Chain A
């Protein structure tokens, strides 16, 4: 499902997080929001999810105006940097959460949880608690939890930021493959240029609350030759 962001602005007190941002994310695409911390990329993602309400502007998801909808009625999957695992629930209960809320029959939930745990290579961990998992495993659990409700869009906020380099690389490649399999419209936030290049089909550079550049990794790679830091690359 496509996402259309139309002239969205958001301020936190004196700080302008988003300054008249417009962007279109195509149905089924994989988009990276790239930029320095405080550049507005996480705020934009949270506005799409409904976790922040924009001061002005409009957000359409799948052709519907979602600007005033609370997060629970947007049907988006959201993955947090620090996993946001429900610590008091087993892995299976975590993944099943959205389906339990939707009061699906137990057989259906069990089958779907099984299927998703296989997809994220956590079959066999169903009855563990999040505290018994590694960081990478927790993040895969969070991803399965977000995918369980078949969201219209999948949003990931620095999903690999808290993981060590090897695991990050692994999960990156794995996210890329997952997207090829599942085809859900995906937007992820990163401050790592390499990560954006490797995973995304479209890269959006945000700095000081404004979109500085929208491009594809192919073009971006050629410009990377001249400058190494994303900041100068963005201009």
Chain B
């Protein structure tokens, strides 16, 4: 019996020290000068723009990575082709590579002067680096693996019999996907979307490198937090951090609210 409590104490203590205490302190520091000061700090034009930009990142990166993720998972699980193993390994690259490296790599490809294709885009009036498109690319890069990794095991588990049954009943490939495959993998997709969203909300390193950090122009919420902190505006930094934390929390809760209600099995 004692060992049971010891285990719980260990697990909870570990979580409290590593996660609980720091997060609580962020909240405490955000409201050290009162709720009014915190509210003012996150409603300045710069702060509002930063949250808007973060929203844009999420709004573009999450749908695109969801669609790509489902297609890539289908290709990896259901098809046999040369390069399948390579695709499977490539998907994990964003997990392995440091976001700073990702940012630098994007500079090499899209940089205005020395970039591989950056010059061509610049000639056509499209600026990628130090501008929103580059930041979106960076966010998409780092948040790419989640949907693929969540969907692959579910696809393996459901097998192909339901899809074959649908085809003998008259459903074409697209109808089979919409009516049978997609509903069967929806919880995997949902969890992948939540993780992708959380990652896109919180990305700092890669976006930081390609953004140029122009306050009010190329500053996302995470960059805003750093900017405020560097300028000794602690209330601003912690209040914005609280907003980010709450957004992540809402994402996780949304997942739990829409969880399966019907019987599984």
Q: Do A and B bind each other?
A: yes
- Give me the interface of A with B, judged by CB distance under 8 Å: 49-51, 70-78, 80, 82, 84-89, 97-98, 101-102, 129-132, 142, 145-146, 148-149
Contact B265 A87 (CB under 8 A): yes
A142 to B168 alpha-carbon distance, docked (Å):
12
The answer to whether A84 and B165 have CB atoms under 8 Å apart is: yes
> Which residues from A are CB-within-8-Å of B171?
72, 97, 101
Size category of the binding interface on chain B = 20 to 34
How many angstroms from the CA of A98 to the CA of B166 in the assembled complex? 8
Cβ-defined contact, A86 with B168, below 8 A: no
Name, among B183, B184, B262, B264, the residue most crowded by chain A CB atoms within 10 Å (CB to CB): B262
A71→B172 CA distance, assembly (Å) = 9
B98 contacts partner chain A, Cβ-Cβ < 8 Å: no
* CB closest residue in chain A, given B260: A88
The distance from the CB of B244 to the nearest CB of chain A, in whole angstroms, is 35
A-B contact count (CB 8 A): 75
Among B28-54, those with CB < 8 Å from A are none
Smallest distance from the beta carbon of A58 to chain B beta carbons, Å?
Answer: 20
Given the known interface contacts A87-B264, A101-B171, A101-B175, the answer about A78 and B183 at a Cβ–Cβ threshold of 8 Å is no
Closest to A98 in B: B169
When distances are taken between beta carbons in the complex, the residues of chain B under 8 Å from A148 are 169
Question: Closest CB-CB distance, B181 to chain A, in whole Å?
Answer: 11
| B112: min CB distance to chain A, Å | 50
| Contact between A72 and B265, CB atoms less than 8 A apart | no
Given contacts A86-B180, A87-B184, A129-B263, contact A78 B172 (CB under 8 A): no
Cβ of A80 and Cβ of B264 under 8 Å apart? no
